Structure formats: structure tokens, C-alpha cells
């Protein structure tokens, strides 16, 4: 039978194996890991740029207070997941000196971690890829694929060719 402490120890080992050094704007270097697509799917989230691109016609959906509270809880969970060493904890008092409360992290650092985790800059680099140009349409060198160039061959006579 698995014990909680054993399970937590194995999870910690795996987190350290997946993690890499991340230098923050404050100069602090932490050991951090990024959530993969499967982890984001479990949380019901998309990378930021992908989420923005999924909004049709540039219309932002209505944002309620409940949405804001849910988003803040997600940010907290994301920080808890990403920061391997030092750990983030909402109750660091019971931990040794290896944990820090989210409120003690400088704003520029936690914003950087969230942007890094959600691959914000990587998504921004893809914004110009196959973007629709003004005046383009079907076959107009836009995002739609036009028909192949077909010229009129006319009557080529009884020469060699395929006949039906």
C-alpha cells in the first residue's frame, strides 16, 4: 500500500527531473518546470496566445467576478506547480526554509513565471505566421488555399495525349 509521504517524495523527484534553472527579473534563479499540454488540459486551460486566438472576431467574452476569482486560483496553482525549488506554499510556516508564500514573491517575478509557464512569448512569435493580408481572399495569397493554376490548352489536335 502506498503511503502519502512516499507518493509525495516520488512526485518531488519527478518534478526535479523535469525542472530547469529559470532566472527571474529580480536576478533570483529558481528550479522550475513548465506544465505540458496534458496538464493544462486537466486544468481546463490553453496557452495564453492560443486562448486569445480562439476568440472569434476579436470579441472578448464577458468576464465576471467569478471568472476573476477562478483565474487567480489558477495562477496560484500554476505557481505551486512550476516552482520546484524553492517551493511555493500557502502555509510555509509549517515547512522548513525551503518554502515561500506567494505574497512574498515580487510581482515582476510571479508575472514572469506565469508568462513563461503559459508560453506567452513563444505564442507571440507565431502571431505573424500565415496571417491574412488585407485584400487577400481565395487564391489571393492569404490563409485560404487557392486553386492550382490551370491554363486552357485548347484543341491540341490528334497528337500524342490521353484521350477518353
**Tell me: the pLDDT tens digits for 93-108?**
665 567 888 888 999 9
What is the spatial distance between Cα 100 and Cα 117, in angstroms, rounded to a whole number? 19
Q: Which of 99-108, 125-134, 142-151 is most confident? A: 99-108
- Helix (DSSP H) and strand (DSSP E) numbers for the chain: 6, 5
pLDDT in tens, 8-43: 889 889 989 999 999 999 999 999 999 887 777 777
Residues 6 or more apart whose CB falls under 8 angstroms from that of 85 comprise 16, 19, 30, 31, 98
pTM of the predicted protein model: 0.62
pLDDT in tens, 42-75: 777 765 544 555 555 556 667 788 878 888 888 8
- The residue whose grid cell reads 481572399 is 137
> Could you tell me the three cell numbers for 40?
493544462
Amino acid at each position: 500500500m502506498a503511503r502519502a509521504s512516499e507518493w509525495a517524495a516520488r512526485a518531488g523527484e519527478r518534478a526535479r527531473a523535469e525542472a530547469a534553472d529559470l532566472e527571474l527579473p529580480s536576478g533570483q534563479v529558481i528550479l522550475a518546470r513548465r506544465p505540458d499540454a496534458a496538464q493544462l488540459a486537466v486544468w481546463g486551460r490553453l496557452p495564453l496566445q492560443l486562448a486569445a486566438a480562439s476568440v472569434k472576431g476579436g470579441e472578448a467574452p464577458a468576464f465576471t467576478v467569478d471568472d476573476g476569482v477562478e483565474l487567480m486560483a489558477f495562477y496560484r496553482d500554476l505557481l505551486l506547480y512550476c516552482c520546484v525549488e524553492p517551493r511555493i506554499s500557502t502555509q510555509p510556516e509549517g515547512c522548513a526554509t525551503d518554502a515561500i508564500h506567494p505574497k512574498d514573491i515580487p510581482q515582476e517575478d510571479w508575472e514572469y513565471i506565469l508568462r513563461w509557464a503559459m508560453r506567452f512569448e513563444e505564442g507571440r512569435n507565431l502571431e505573424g505566421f500565415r496571417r491574412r493580408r488585407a485584400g487577400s481572399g481565395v487564391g489571393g495569397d492569404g490563409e485560404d488555399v487557392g486553386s492550382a493554376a490551370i491554363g486552357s490548352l485548347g484543341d491540341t489536335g490528334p497528337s500524342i495525349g490521353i484521350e477518353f
